[in-house]
Structure 1
Amino acid sequence: MIFSSNENLLINLLNYSDFISSKYLANRLFVSTKTIYRIVKRINNISMESHENPLIVSEPGKGFKLNQHFRNQDIHTLMDFTEENNLNDLILSFLFKHPKKVKRTVFDEEYLSESSIERRLKKMQDNLNQYHIRLHYDWEYIWLEGEEINIRRAINDIFLEINKINSLNEIGVKINQIDKFFIDKQITVIEESLNEYLSYPYDLTVYTHIYMIIKRYREGEVKYLSSQEPLEKDEEQLMLANRKITKTAQTIIKNLEDYLGIKMSELEVYFAFQNIYSINIQKRESSNIDKKLAEEIAKHYITNFFSISDVTLLPASRSLYQDLYQHLLPMLSRLRMGIKIENNLLDEVVLEYEGTFSKLTKITETINNELMFDTKINDAEIGYLTLYFEKYKINRRETKNILLVCSTGIGTSELLKTRVESNFPNLNVVATMSQRQMKNNQTFIKENVDLIFSTLRMPFDLGTIPVLTISPLLTEKDIQHINLTLKELE
């Protein structure tokens, strides 16, 4: 485990002598006091596992301070990640050189005993098993056996793991300045070609892909691509439907060929296309299969999360549905291609929105069981989906959609609408209807309306939508009644 950014910030705010209140910490971290208690609990759980002592102590009414037990220690190095970092770096070096053999002398610099080397090799094999890659060694050499596509997936995942361990928003490996300048330039080429800014984590996905290509062609032998089957018809059609992305991918590969001074397999264009296509960008045309699948998954998340039989039963569901749908479309491309994205806010999301994240995780388990992809929806993706559900909840709390039902003329209904908007700026009047219009638009009302203000008594039931009978002139008594109702709804 590693402390997240909020956990590190909280530790930095504390000292060994004075208690600091949860309210002060909450204000500094821009979170609730409830979240402060959760963060402290998690920090202490990590500390107890490794050192059998809580890192933070507390007293009711006083707050929190650091445990005197750790006074003479560097608390930021309590969790030792040296071995894990070294192991990842070592695995990467073998992956880049595949299928070339590497001399066992790579362990000489670490001054390890033969038994320690054996343990290190076993750990490496355990990590590589999930990618169907075999590690072989004798008394002189170490080498890997696996398909190129699995080699690339392993490289991508280990990059993400290194980022997670180092808590960085950039690749946690050393890149020489010339390569870095070249890769940055390619990111700019993509942004300018598609007229879109590549934000985190999608910029990192493309960055690692380009860096991986450079390393693989420099250090290894990319044999798998020469024996790869040609593109299938649906893959060709997808590239034709997204000509701008295809042209951008061709430009990137041509630049790489010029930079490395080699001729690459034509399939590299398709792999580059896949990575750019998997980004959540506007100018992409998805296959009909992905569109239908994204639609079904979005509906499945919404109906199961809110325990409803149909998406339209959820008030103002369209905004949540669109957010999910636009994330799920490129996500399906990532799953199909084995591309994983990073989420450096995951720890904070789990702490802040534990209930929502947990609920979505259970729903995701059923979806993963149905999906035929080797790569499944992981915690990073669930973290992003959690934010969409929380955004929907906040919007629902802050803004209520109101329907005005008025039997009087246009002038009176417009006056009522103006008075409602003037007295309740957080209410959104979505429509003004007569009772006859209501009967013909019940589907719209159930999906988009939270509360109904009516100047006459309703002759039919609208289920769970509250109805307030008010005067066409909106009296002071009406205003008080509305305020009380809004508080009850909150």
Structure 2
Amino acid sequence: MIFSSNENMMINILNFDEYVSAKYLAETLYVSTKTVYRMIKKINELFIEEKKVPLIISEHGKGYRLSSRFRNSDVHSMVEFAEENTLNEVALALLFKYPNKVKRTVMNTDYLSDSSIERRLKKIAEIINKYAIQLHYDREYLWLSGKEVTIRKAINHLFLEMNKLNSLSEIGITINAIDKYFIDQQIVLIEEMLNEYINYPYDITIYTHIYMVMKRYREGEVHYLGNQEPLEKEERLLMESNPQLLEVATKIIRNIENYLSIQMDSLEIYFVFQNIYSINSQKRESSNVDKKLAEEITKKFITDYFMISDVTLLPESRSLYEDLYQHILPMLSRLRSGIRVENNLLDELLLEYRSTFLKVKTLAEEINQELMFDTKMNDAEIGYLTLYFEKYKIHRQEDKNILLICSTGVGTSELLKVRIQQNFPTMNIIATMSQRQVKKNLDFIKENVDLIFSTIRVPMEIENIPILLISPLLIDKDIQNINHTMKEIEQWKK
């Protein structure tokens, strides 16, 4: 029996004496009551099949709870949970929180022994170490150390890996660790030989094809190939005109033959070629469209969230832009394919970042209305997007954000920026604007700017943000004035 994280959570919620209503379960798990009924039906069917009795019982007007036979017992030891996804989810929670610490409760170890907890920590460390990131922990917290570039790479790879595992389990495929490693290596080989990254959901096509071929040969169910007609002229010409894809397909089949110690029908090369060619064609047709759409959605999230007219006005916008874009691009493939993701971080996220989540959700709902897919961005997707915004905010809190106002927004501003950064390394010049641009971006300035330096007299006040008149050359008097103002700001905060 393999249950999803939501199904695991439902079992935890019901493991008490009191009955729990379907409405409460739906609100707690952020799903519909219809989904709750479906989950309970699935759990009970699996338990009846293996234990001959249902796990969850219901009473009209009261709701649901675990059967007295299982209540207050270690239910988790009776079922096989998809541990790999659970560990990936913990790793992902740590990556999103980097460089901050995370409470050990994120591991959800209520039903585990000390030895099991230690084993999970070692496995999480192994997952993280693949990206040159180190896991640290004490009795209360977990935290990571590493470089920002590897943090982003790990987030993207783990997210795709989790979706892949979810999709395979949904169609009833469970792959042992050795086979999984072998198939993973074939995906890597294809990517290296074609010099192209196979993102989700295209990798699922290759995964399932290789797995099914291996399974059929192991079980001897390949007699149908003997009745197949030889390749038609058009099929042969297609392979000949794509020698690189043919070389990859041939290599994959040879690797499977060596792995299984068997000889396979030569037609298998064409079937692998056909899959790779099909994926390659689909990606060529949709990738440019998806890339453009992902760019537009990313820009809309940033400009609407910060209420600015252009993404480049946001300080260090590239960091947030890349994070959002790398999530949104594969998300479009998921939405097109009707695939929904889970997000076990939602509970904690809604407690800590509720206002950000609701703000991002409002923007997502506007974008959903414009998308032509039947499947829309759900709370799980919105939750991940929320974490990117929070991650950006954490990184921006360390330095003082400075806005430069010049007569045209350019001119001597570059020289002035260099002079300021030389004298005040903790100051971050987030933008240079003309007076007209300032009037158009007041909301952004109020939310993101700590101090304004202006080379012209600005007849305006922007809430409590100090405005200092300075020389374009930043003379000694300006430096003294800035230092004095900074001390006043610190005193005011205390």
* TM-score normalised by the chain length of structure 1: 0.47
